Every structure is written in C-alpha cells, then in structure tokens.
Chain A
Amino acid sequence: MSLTEIVITFLLGFGFGWALDKAGLTKYHKIVNVFRFTDLAVLKFMLSAMVTGMIGIYGLKWLGLVQLTPATPTYIVGNFIGGLIFGVGMAGAGF
C-alpha cells in the first residue's frame, strides 16, 4: 500500500469516527435505547448514511466512475444467526 493510500484510508476512518461520535453513538445509552425504542438515533444515523451512500454510489456507477465491490454473499442461515448473536452483544455491551 502506498503512502497516499494509507493517508486517504486514515482520513476516511477519521471521518467515520467523527461521524459516529457526533451522532452520540460512542455512548452506551444511545446504543441500548434503540432496542428499547426510547432513542432511535442509531436508526436515524444508519439509514441516513445508507440513503446518502446509495444515491452517491449508484450515481457514480451510472457515470461509470466506480465498480461495486463484491458484497457479503447472501447466506440466510449465517447472516441471520450472526445477526441474532450480534444483537445480544450489542444490547449487552452498548457498542
């Protein structure tokens, strides 16, 4: 990996962490409360990121500037059971 790539990757990560913290998702109660329906910040954050990302990525793909990466394969049992265990960890740890 070249130095430019490392710097770009670091800056992307920096933006990622900054966004997470500004949305308050570095706090225990924000994560737990989405499962109690008392604070939906996690969903608001995730879904607005997904909508923005989808529009941008499909727009760039339409312009021929990017190629989609191979996404995680659909393996219903694995994806679902993984999700089930993940939910327990997420609600317990608050991360």
Chain B
Amino acid sequence: MKGIVEYMRKEEWSPYAAGILLGFVVIFSLLLTGNLPGSSAAFENLAATVGRHVAAPNNIYFVPQEVRGTTIQPIYPAGFTWQVILLIGVFFGAMGSALAAGKFIGWRRSVPDVDRQWRAIFGPERWKRWVIAFIGGVVLEFAAGIAGGCTSGLAISGGVQLAPAAFIFVAGMFISGIPTAYLIYRRRF
C-alpha cells in the first residue's frame, strides 16, 4: 500500500506504464460509456455553442441533431457534451498528478529549471510562451477539424480500432513536425 502511494507521488513514470494506464482508460471508456476518448471535439463543441448563439443560430453545422429533428449529423454540435466533461476530467487529472508529485507551479512568476529548453531558445519572457502556445493551439485545433480528430481522438482512439485515418494522420504529423522542429532548433540545444 505504501508502495502504491509512493508510486503515485513520483514525478514521472516510465512512459510505457503511463501508456498502459491510458490504454485501460480507453478500454473502460468503450465498455462503460460506449464512447472513445478524444479532446479536440470538446473545443469544437464549446466553440460551436458560442458560434451558434452569437452568429449563426440556424447553422446546420452547430445545431444539435435532436434539436433540429433531422438525420444529418452536425460536424460540431453545440452543447455541453460527453467530450467536454472528459476534458474537464483531463484538466483535473493532470493537475492532481502534478499536485501529488509536488511539482505544481500554478501562477508563480519565475520558475527556474522548468522549461530550460524553451528558455534556451526563446528567452525567459513569459508572454512569449503564452503567445506561441496560443498560436500553436489555434493551428492544432484547425488541423484537428480538417483531419477529424487529434492525437487522442483520431490517433489513439482511431488507432485502437485499426482505422486507416489514424495512421495517415500520424504520418502527416511527423512529416511536418520534424522539419518544423528543425527550423526552430537547427543545431541549438
């Protein structure tokens, strides 16, 4: 028992062990809820909720199926969906893991030794991290919309069902990710 607690408080597990835990999450997700986990759809659902109320109340891509009473499945149904609740769980799960390991940073301004690699390339300014993370996030979500999912919803949840789309997506991800990382880093770090 003490061993288990200690293991939970470790800062990092072997990626294989963490991957097996995620594998069990995927299995129990299908067994208990009939859905497979994904994260990009939650942002789409939330964005569609805003879009529907602000700009396009009758847009067929935003209005939930049961409201419209037709059989066309909207691409990004508005609403507080299964995926959104899952995403809230992801947030608290990662936070719980960080708290248990005692590495939770929160809003503290300067954090030595965290993101050492980032600082070596982009400098110590916090705002740069926020701006680049935001732009990257927009690019990610846009791409997930085109591809039909992200690393979790398409690559892992699709991959476990042997969907060809998952493997095409991962190939594309590496083909562009490798040169992007090379352009940022060259021979530095």
The answer to whether B58 has its CB under 8 Å from any CB of chain A is no
The answer to whether B185 has its CB under 8 Å from any CB of chain A is yes
Q: Is the beta-carbon distance between A90 and B19 smaller than 8 angstroms?
A: no
Among residues of A, the one whose C-beta sits closest to the C-beta of B20 is A52
Contact partner, A49, options B26, B116, B161, B176, Cβ 8 Å: B26
Q: How far is the CA of A79 from the CA of B33 in the complex (A)?
A: 26
Q: Is the beta-carbon distance between A17 and B90 smaller than 8 angstroms?
A: yes
Chain A residues contacting B27 (CB-CB under 8 Å) are: 52-53, 56-57, 60
Q: Is the beta-carbon distance between A17 and B148 smaller than 8 angstroms?
A: no
Interface of A is mostly: helix
Q: A53-B23, A83-B173 are in contact. Are A66 and B163 (CB under 8 A)?
A: no
> How many of chain A's residues have a CB under 8 angstroms from any CB in B?
74
Question: Whole-angstrom distance from the CB of B67 to the nearest CB of chain A?
Answer: 16
List residues of A whose CB falls within 8 A of some B CB: 1, 5-6, 8-24, 26-29, 32-36, 41-42, 44-54, 56-57, 60, 65-69, 71-76, 78-95
10 A-B pairs closest in CB distance:
A13-B89, A93-B136, A83-B172, A82-B147, A52-B23, A17-B93, A48-B19, A89-B139, A87-B177, A87-B176
Interface pairs (20), CB distance under 8 Å? A13-B37, A13-B93, A49-B20, A53-B27, A56-B26, A60-B27, A67-B34, A72-B148, A72-B163, A75-B148, A76-B168, A78-B146, A79-B169, A80-B172, A83-B169, A85-B142, A86-B150, A87-B173, A91-B176, A93-B137
